[in-house]
Amino acid sequence: MSARATGATTLRVLRQLRRDPRTIALLVVVPCALVFLVDQLFADRPLVFQQVGVPLLGLFPLVSMFLVTSITMLRERTSGTLERLLTLPLEKLDLLVGYAIAFAAVAAVQATIVSLVGFGLLDLTVVNSKLLVIALAVANAVLGMALGLFLSAFARTEFQAVQFMPAFILPQILLCGLLVPREEMAEWLQWVSALMPFTYAYDALSRAATDGELGAAFWADVLVVGGVTVFALALGAGTLRRRTP
Amino acid sequence: MTAAISVRGLRVTRGGRQVLRGLDLEVEAGRVTGLLGPSGSGKTTLIRSIVGTQIVAGGSVSVLGLPAGARSLRRRVGYMTQAPSVYEDLTVHENLAYFARIVGVGADRVSRVVERVGLAANRDQVVVTLSGGERARVSLGAAILNEPEVLVLDEPTVGLDPVLRRDLWSFFHELAESGTTLLVSSHVMDEAARCDRLVLLREGSILADATPDDLLSRTGTDDLDEAFLELVQRGTA
């Protein structure tokens, strides 16, 4: 791996994003607006807003980076730039880590702004440090990026890539415990839920918000999120083929 | 002759169709070799096999004495794809600067290449606002950044105006004189006359491999287009 090629890739991805101010605005404004919407929705039930609000802060970056990465990677595949890069002295890891750093940086900005809105304007509170929530949000963003990178290999067009959102993300949002506590789900749904990365991302955030002492269960969640990220990146690296049919 | 590229019995199947059927080819070092043939004749597939991005069904391809796609060749072979593979949302300079970091050349080289491909006036223009020919030149610029020993160009002059085409061809010859091996594909026969050697490809097989003059005298024609037709007719007769 080379720091030069990795750094160059990070800069390049950020430059590309900078050329697209509308996407940047959407990345920041949409989550803020949604958190506000949830706040208003549960105006009479502040406890519910507390339970839902904090995990939402940390899950937005996961969803946004999943989408941004799958589209960016798909473009990289269809425009031929990926084929060119793979004929150059560039390790696949340089490319993947370069992407991961760029999107983690964007996610950090996104999570910070949404947190400022949530904690500052909408009276969200957490038992633990707010920075921990932001750190979890960044970890989730890298998870989203890794999943997007891997799944982009299975989309031929941007239409298909966008459909991964309802196909892959929505079921996880439904089953992660955000809407219905996992213990109250049918047993088979609990099993399905246990196989989904979102469940652990949600659980970690929810514990960070409400558990006084962060115990083994929290760290197990963090470990799963980290493990799935590495696993998805490895699978993603496997889909970057130097030779294609 | 010293062969920079050597292809033996190359077979490639794409989408269930045999695109290359046992192809043999030697590309001489330090020369401009033209790969000519109609669309669908297998030019791009052959080129991709040479740069090592194509999964092949059989045969062997060696470049500078190493198997095509070998790790160390990634620094020694330059490849320009048919569609300009550059980032549309970056400027000319940002594109080249990125690829320069990957291949490990400095900022001064980027500036020289921008001049060389005639894009000095477009240096800070975002690629999406460039014409097709200008985009192709950004892509060419990216391929020559680290002065590779072997340069493989897939239809580099498509859509360029005649003056620019002439300039590029003389640039290719300059590169060859300084020792670079060039393999340049085209489907336009009038470009063939500018090559040191011609390889005519049709339906995945080599129809002829000769100098332009040889080709004319062998077919008794005075035009390379006619020579191509003549060879096709002889082949099917």
Tens-binned pLDDT, residue by residue, of chain A (245 aa)? 788 999 999 999 999 999 988 888 888 898 899 889 988 998 898 888 888 888 888 888 899 889 988 888 898 988 889 999 999 999 998 998 999 899 889 988 988 898 889 888 888 888 878 889 889 998 998 999 899 988 988 888 888 888 888 889 999 999 999 888 999 999 999 999 999 999 999 999 999 888 778 889 999 999 999 999 999 999 988 888 888 88
Q: Chain B residue with minimal CA distance to A21?
A: B89
- Structure confidence at residue B72 as a pLDDT band (50, 70, 90): very high
Partner B, chain A 87-116, Cβ-Cβ below 8 Å? 87-90
As beta bridge partners, residue B10 has B23
- Structure confidence at residue B236 as a pLDDT band (50, 70, 90): low
Interface contacts (A, B; CB < 8 Å): 76
Q: Chain B residue with minimal CA distance to A94?
A: B102
Higher per-residue pLDDT: A26 or B86: B86
Q: Which residues of chain B neighbour A80 with C-beta distances below 8 Å?
A: 81, 83-85
Q: Chain A residue with minimal CA distance to B144?
A: A88
First to last CA, chain A: 27
C-alpha B86/C-alpha B69 separation (Å) is: 21
CB A5 within 8 A of CB A90: yes
C-alpha B154/C-alpha B35 separation (Å) is: 9
- Using a CB–CB cut-off of 8 Å, the residues of B that contact A are 14-15, 51-55, 69, 74-75, 77, 79, 81, 83-90, 94, 98-99, 101-104, 126, 142
Q: How would you label B90-101 residue by residue, b for 16+ Cβ within 10 Å and e otherwise? A: bbbbbbbbbbbb
The identity of residue B121, as a single letter, is A
Closest CA of chain B from A5, distance in Å = 5
Contact call for B53 and A243, based on CB within 8 A: yes
Closest CA of chain A from B177, distance in Å = 24
Predicted confidence (pLDDT) per residue in B203-227, tens digit:
889 988 989 889 889 888 888 888 8
pLDDT at B237 over 70: no
The identity of residue A170, as a single letter, is L
Closest CA of chain B from A76, distance in Å = 8
pLDDT at B57 over 60: yes
pTM above 0.95, yes or no: no
pLDDT value of residue B1: 65
pLDDT at B35 over 80: yes
* Cα distances (Å, whole numbers) of residue B233 to A128, B157, B207, B219, B228: 82, 28, 11, 11, 9
Contact call for A4 and B101, based on CB within 8 A: yes
Identify the helix (H) or strand (E) that includes residue B114: helix B107-116
Q: Which of B84, B103, B181, B200 is nearest to A87 (CA)?
A: B103
Which backbone phi and psi does B91 adopt, to 5 degrees?
-80, 170
CB nearest to A19's CB, from B86, B98, B126:
B126
Predicted confidence (pLDDT) per residue in B149-200, tens digit:
999 999 988 777 888 888 889 999 999 999 999 999 988 877 888 899 999 9
- Interface residue A21 vs chain B (CB under 8 A): no
